[in-house]
Structure 1
Amino acid sequence: MKAHLSSRLLYIIAAALIVVSCRKDQAPTPIANKDKTVAATTAATTTTLSESFESGTKTAYATGNVTLSSGSWSFDDALIGILSTDAKNGSQSARIRNTGSLTMNFDATGGATTITIAHAVFGSDGSSTWQLWISTNGGSSYSQVGSTVTSSSTTLSTATFTVNVTGSYRLSIRKASGGTNRINIDDVVVTTGSSTGGGGTGTTGDNSHLLLGNPSGAVASSVYTTNYLYNATYYIESYNSVRGTPNWVSWHLNSADIGSTSRQDDFRANTALPSGWYQVDATSYSGSGFDRGHNCPSGDRTSSVAANSSTFLMTNMIPQAPNNNQVTWEGFESYIRTLVSAGNECYIIMGSYGTGGTGSNGTVSTIDGVHVTVPGNIWKVVVVLSNGNGDLSRITTSTRVIAINTPNNNSIGSDWKSYRTSVDAIESATGYDLLSAVSTTIQATIEAKVDNQ
């Protein structure tokens, strides 16, 4: 459980943000009338500032100005980090120590509605806090925006701030605590405008695939090649183009999703990925000794041909050891569907992490050349609710949460129950913030439990 802002970015370039929204009728209705899918909406937004820290050079902490792609910034007790221990997207990010700061020496124009900033700790340093300050009078005075943010992970996370600026502005990012511990700052993006076509964040409507939160702060921006939010309509995922697999996939499951549609078996490349990205295709796993393992299972999407076909996109696959896929995980997936048949609905998140799995041909780290990384572990979290309305508000400290974490090998035991763990343990292994939309008090209880039913 984490009380800080949910991980990693909201980088929006001037065209499209995929926002997820799915609402249930407010009046009590039969379960069959609940919306079953999440709709993609288009955001009418404009980027008024974008800074990736890729163009500047500064090798010392002494106060000085740095010319970046967006303009001149003042670096106080800060530099441009290029080391392997600097957390960054690309080859560079800013690094701040003590109570240093990064401050714009120029006015950005066009207003601001949303500000996102990627952040992480440097190397093995401890946690630090930092703040965002904004000036609307040319730098004469500043006021703090939002809450103080804690950086505690070595993986870039995203802090998102909401403001209401109609004219020019300057930003100042200020390290507030942590002493000599250093933090990395990257990808500062400011947008103005609002979403259309239903709006929302995708985390508040019943049956939304992201009702319980966005574990890594994934966003539909091609800049974020390792944390790309892809809305497949019948599930939503964070796709990692460097690994060639999803980081995680999230979906809602109820009885309306389970029908009589046959398995389509139409494995295929996802041509909707950003231009220039490598497309894992139907033959990429051939001869590897690994199955094309579904994240969102085919069996969870049998209400229509379109629903089932969506699960065969290769962006929904991981290289999974055959026994792991066909025995252990198949048993767990089938069990979840029996819960749904018994009058429940489930919110499910599945993911993988690590490098190196053991398939029928032995242990390897990558397949398809080096385009697809074989994960070392595979996990899933399932939140089980009886059918009803107001799902988020119905999650209590007594709600059943099933979490499993299995090694990706071919000698795995057949009983999925042997691999039950806590959500906290999965968060510790992955750095994700699972169930972040649930109140922190309830999270503290349900994320620490290991299911024993």
Structure 2
Amino acid sequence: MLQLYMRGRKALALLLLMLWSASATSWAVPFAATPENFPETFESGSKSSYATGTVQLASGTWILDEALIGSTDNDKKAGSQSVRLRNAGRLAMDFFLPEGAGTVSIRHAIYGNDPGSGWELWAQTQVASCGCEKWYKVGQTVITSTSGLQTASFTVNTTAPVKFEIRKVSGGTARLNIDDFSVDSYDPTVPAYPDNDHLALGNPSMAIPDVSNPNNYLMRKPQYALSYSRDRGTPNWVSWHLDASDRGGADRQDNFREDPALPAGWYRVNENSYRGSGFDRGHNAPSADRTSSVEANSATFLMTNMIPQAPNNNQKTWNNFEQYTRSYAESGYEVYLIMGNYGVGGSGSNGGTTNTIDNGHVTVPNRVWKVAVILPVGENDVSRITAATRVIAIDTPNANSINTDWGAYRVSIDEIEVATGLDLLSNLPAGVQTQIEAAVDNGPTN
């Protein structure tokens, strides 16, 4: 069904995506500066305490939490002032850049002789179809350890209205200085999605967040991105990036629930929709891939991230593969993952073949697949992927009689594309994509 839909609507989807991007500046949101108003040098405002508060600066209003405007001899600065953060401090725009942003550059240094600290740049964009605000981390964690100002640069490159936040994530009471926050304009020659974005390797079905596209509806969350099918009541695919920063001490939340971000009027699959069906509420983006915070883990329990999955498939074969890919994230690698499903009819613990559950609102898939691209942690991820990069693709039956060895189901990406009509890893150079997608992984499985 999706395959026929994709072939007939791909050109229209491309057009709609262009129109959606072009209209991104028309929403009624609190806009202020444009990239031309930057760099923000933090010279024009004042704030002398670490208590949470707002400061009016040349570019607009900023929120400072566990942060102040410093001007002492120990504050590293290009002029007379810079921002000083401590503990889990943050420095955030309280306004959007209406025309998006290209590259963000930030100068940073340790305060005085304090130990080093880690910090991250986060971005929040507004989605045209729902006015939703989505946070995502841009690039890798930056470790500040030098006494002189250094410059860290991040590729954002979005046409959507965007604002930014710096979050201090390590170092405890050690303080750091931030100065000269620069934002360049959108550059159409740079890939649409930066490193670690959940769609950095491509949008497999050219999904867009438009209600006229109900069976290929794009939803972007901080924890993953997905194409949702209203008529199937499941995602077509879910894509996410995994590295060590996504893993932490948060407990499994088990708060399965409907997704409030679905368009008004659409049926919302809920926590009870699978009960008694013989199928698990099978995660696409796994709970254990998102344990950095309660919020991150909770997001994996939205029902838009679930498919009806045979228990032995979910709890054994799939769980084994998930643990295997997580082992890479814990040993110096980052992993891009895409999971999807196709066909109709699976066999769960009740026996026989079941086509739909929840009074026909949820389609039971016949096959479940996943692709994992494994890289050493680094920058410029798309350009680092070569024919020698380990890429694992599996395609399994949605059946309780499944082999628990996921390695038995390895296939080429080409085979998955033929079965689904999707275009996987489309952001890779054509030559690399051709080689990777034709190969079948033969590496270790444990």
| Superposed pair shares fold, TM > 0.5 | yes
1:195 and 2:160 equivalent?
yes
**1:372 aligned residue (357, 362, 376):** 362
**2:125 is aligned with what amino acid?**
A
1:442 and 2:407 equivalent?
no
Q: Distance in 2 between matches of 1:375 and 1:291?
A: 12
**Does 405-414 or 11-20 show the bigger shift?**
11-20
**Post-superposition offset of 1:426:** 0.5
Q: Distance in 2 between matches of 1:212 and 1:6?
A: 18
- Secondary structure at 1:242's aligned position in 2? coil
- Seen in structure 2, the aligned counterparts of structure 1 residues 8 and 290 have a Cα distance that, compared at 3 Å, is farther
**Post-superposition offset of 1:341:** 1.0
1:9 and 2:13 equivalent?
yes
**1:40 aligned residue (125, 129, 144):** 125
Note the residue ranges of structure 1 that are not aligned, 5 or more in a row.
45-192
| Correspondence for 2:167 | none
Q: Distance in 2 between matches of 1:23 and 1:367?
A: 47
- Secondary structure at 1:226's aligned position in 2? coil
Deviating above 6 A after TM superposition, structure 1's stretches of 4 or more consecutive aligned residues are 5-8, 13-27, 198-202
**2:314 is aligned with what amino acid?**
N
**Post-superposition offset of 1:357:** 0.3
- Seen in structure 2, the aligned counterparts of structure 1 residues 419 and 38 have a Cα distance that, compared at 3 Å, is farther
| Correspondence for 2:238 | 249
Matched pairs, number: 300
- Secondary structure at 1:437's aligned position in 2? coil
Could you tell me whether the CA contact under 8 Å between 1:39 and 1:233 is conserved in 2? no
**Post-superposition offset of 1:231:** 1.2
- Seen in structure 2, the aligned counterparts of structure 1 residues 414 and 24 have a Cα distance that, compared at 3 Å, is farther
- Seen in structure 2, the aligned counterparts of structure 1 residues 426 and 24 have a Cα distance that, compared at 3 Å, is farther
- State the TM-score, normalized to the length of structure 2: 0.62
Q: Distance in 1 between matches of 2:308 and 2:273?
A: 10
**1:278 aligned residue (264, 267, 289):** 267
Note the residue ranges of structure 2 that are not aligned, 5 or more in a row.
1-8, 28-98, 110-115, 130-157, 164-185
Q: Distance in 2 between matches of 1:406 and 1:20?
A: 41
**1:401 aligned residue (391, 400, 403):** 391
Could you tell me whether the CA contact under 8 Å between 1:364 and 1:374 is conserved in 2? yes
**2:237 is aligned with what amino acid?**
W
| Correspondence for 2:257 | 268
- Seen in structure 2, the aligned counterparts of structure 1 residues 341 and 23 have a Cα distance that, compared at 3 Å, is farther
| Correspondence for 1:161 | none
**Post-superposition offset of 1:232:** 1.9
Q: Distance in 2 between matches of 1:194 and 1:22?
A: 8
1:306 and 2:295 equivalent?
yes
- Seen in structure 2, the aligned counterparts of structure 1 residues 450 and 346 have a Cα distance that, compared at 3 Å, is same
| Correspondence for 1:160 | none
Could you tell me whether the CA contact under 8 Å between 1:7 and 1:432 is conserved in 2? no
**Post-superposition offset of 1:7:** 7.1
**1:221 aligned residue (202, 207, 210):** 210
- Seen in structure 2, the aligned counterparts of structure 1 residues 410 and 26 have a Cα distance that, compared at 3 Å, is farther
Q: Share of identical aligned residues, percent?
A: 53
Q: Distance in 1 between matches of 2:311 and 2:196?
A: 31
| Correspondence for 1:348 | 337
Q: Distance in 2 between matches of 1:359 and 1:448?
A: 32
Q: Distance in 1 between matches of 2:310 and 2:325?
A: 21
**1:253 is aligned with what amino acid?**
L
**1:380 is aligned with what amino acid?**
K
- Secondary structure at 2:322's aligned position in 1? helix
| Correspondence for 2:146 | none
Q: Distance in 1 between matches of 2:425 and 2:367?
A: 20
Flag the structure with higher strand content.
1
**Post-superposition offset of 1:195:** 2.8
- Seen in structure 2, the aligned counterparts of structure 1 residues 194 and 416 have a Cα distance that, compared at 3 Å, is closer
- Seen in structure 2, the aligned counterparts of structure 1 residues 301 and 379 have a Cα distance that, compared at 3 Å, is same
**1:419 aligned residue (409, 414, 423):** 409
- Trace 1:2-401 onto structure 2 (pairs within 5 A): 9-10=13-14, 11=16, 39-42=124-127, 195-197=160-162, 203-362=192-351, 363-401=353-391
Q: Distance in 2 between matches of 1:434 and 1:21?
A: 27
Q: Distance in 2 between matches of 1:302 and 1:240?
A: 27
Could you tell me whether the CA contact under 8 Å between 1:355 and 1:375 is conserved in 2? yes
